[in-house]
Every structure is written in structure tokens, then in C-alpha cells.
Amino acid sequence: MRFAVAEGVLGRSVGDDLLVHLFETDDVFVLNRDARVVFEAVKESSSVDELHAHVASRVFGDALELNQLVDTALERMVAAGILVRTVED
Amino acid sequence: MPDTAGSRRLVVLSLNPSEYFARGEGSESDVRGVIGKMLPNAEFELSAVDDRTASSIESRLKPPQQELLKNLASQGGAEGLKSYNVKFKTPPAAKELTDDQLKSVAGGALAAYRFDPQIAAIRRPLGGGIGPVGVTVGVGIAGKF
């Protein structure tokens, strides 16, 4: 399993934050800097492990705790319609 | 692979607020450089540890942390992984740090900054919220919405 940015999602930087617009529903979300790190990591990763490693390479902290925080953020973004789960390549 | 480019596997796990255990690829100076870049204002001592010491330190980790190390080893290339003990010397004097410094320091008592991804929906006023817009819908219904 992996995560991908849903179709019709447009991001725009606002300072450190990222404003995300979902064309499908016209919903708008603001991702803070840390959530943005996760969002950007999704675009550059082809697996969840790679995604975890990508975030860990940018944030210093306990790897396990980081992974859990990243997983929670991913679930929230899926629930919001920003991300979708896909089968790993 | 040269030490200055590419990606590497590195896992950092907390033992207590001022002590971490790290295991990963690359030379000691390389790992020191990675941590130094992540925490440019934190003073720390990084020392490579032998297998026996590493095992002793690992026993102090929480079970899920130990599981993470097993997963790292199971990905292959375990012989290239080295273990390090990281001890921070920087006092947790958060009020003496600037905002930028606070954001760059993480980990236990040093963690004035904590990784905290937040996603918030923005509620917009009904009708688009851009201001009065003249709209004509069908025949005979016109006005400002």
C-alpha cells in the first residue's frame, strides 16, 4: 500500500503553510508546516516505508514516534480527501 | 556512494530526553553531520559503539523501538549499519533560544519544537465569499447573492 495525492488537488504556499483546494468538493484545507512535510513526502515516495524515511530525513526525533505522527496525518488527509490509498507499485 | 550525496538509512530512537540511540549507514562523521544539520544549535556528543554496547543500549529501548531496529536490519545490508550513542549537552533553556532555533531543536527536554502535523478545513462564507456578485439564474430571477 502507498499513498498518493488525490486527483484535482491543488496546493498553494502561504508562508510555511500549504493551502490545498479540492476541485471535486470545493473544500479548502490548510496544512501547517509539519503536515506540509508529510504531504510533500507523499509526492516523492513510492511506499510507506520510503515516506517515513523521507520525513525522518527532514525532522529530528524518535523514529517510532515520528512514524506514528506521520501515519495519523496520512489518515487525516485521506479522510479529508486530500490523499488516496493505492496499491504499491 | 560518496558521503556527500544520495540518501541513507538512519534511525534515531530516544532513550531519554537527552540521550538517543542511532543506527544507520555512513561514516561517523557523516552521521554527525546529518544530526548537526538537523540541530544546528544543539551541542551533542556522538560516539560509535561496538556490538556489545549496542546490545546493552538496545535493551533499554521500548519494544516497538526494538521492532523498528529489527525491521531496519531485515531490509538487507545489515552489515553496513553502525550504531551510535548520541548525548546532548545543550541545556533545555528554551527561553534563551530564538524562535527559529526553537523550531530547529527537537527531542525530549530539548524539544521546544515538536513535530505536529495539523490539517484544518477552511470554512468559507456561503455564496463564495468573494463579495457581491450579480448572478442570473434561469429566467426572471436576478439579483445579488
Distance in Å, alpha carbon of B60 to nearest chain A alpha carbon: 14
pLDDT digits (tens, 9 = 90+) for A20-59: 999 989 999 999 999 999 999 999 998 998 899 888 888 8
Q: Model's pTM, two decimal places?
A: 0.65
Q: What is the ipTM of this complex?
A: 0.91
Q: What is the pLDDT of residue B17?
A: 78
Q: CB B119 to CB A53 under 8 A?
A: no
pLDDT digits (tens, 9 = 90+) for B67-121: 888 888 887 777 788 999 998 876 433 333 344 544 444 333 344 357 889 999 9
Q: What is the pLDDT of residue A71?
A: 96
- The DSSP-derived string for B115-141 is ----EEEPP--TT-SSS--EEEETTTE
**Was domain A2-86 assigned CATH 3.90.930.60?**
yes
Q: What is the pLDDT of residue B58?
A: 92
Distance in Å, alpha carbon of B136 to nearest chain A alpha carbon: 21
Q: What is the pLDDT of residue A89?
A: 54
**Residues 54-93, chain B, touching A (beta carbon < 8 A):** 62, 64-65, 68
Asked if pLDDT for residue A67 goes beyond 60, the answer is yes
Q: CB B35 to CB A60 under 8 A?
A: yes
SS3 B12: strand
Distance in Å, alpha carbon of B46 to nearest chain A alpha carbon: 15
pLDDT digits (tens, 9 = 90+) for B44-64: 899 999 999 999 999 999 888
Q: What is the pLDDT of residue B125?
A: 63
Q: What is the pLDDT of residue B53?
A: 94
Q: Judge whether B15 and B73 are in contact, CB under 8 Å.
A: no
Q: Show me where the domains of chain A are located.
A: 2-86
C-alpha cell at A43: 509526492
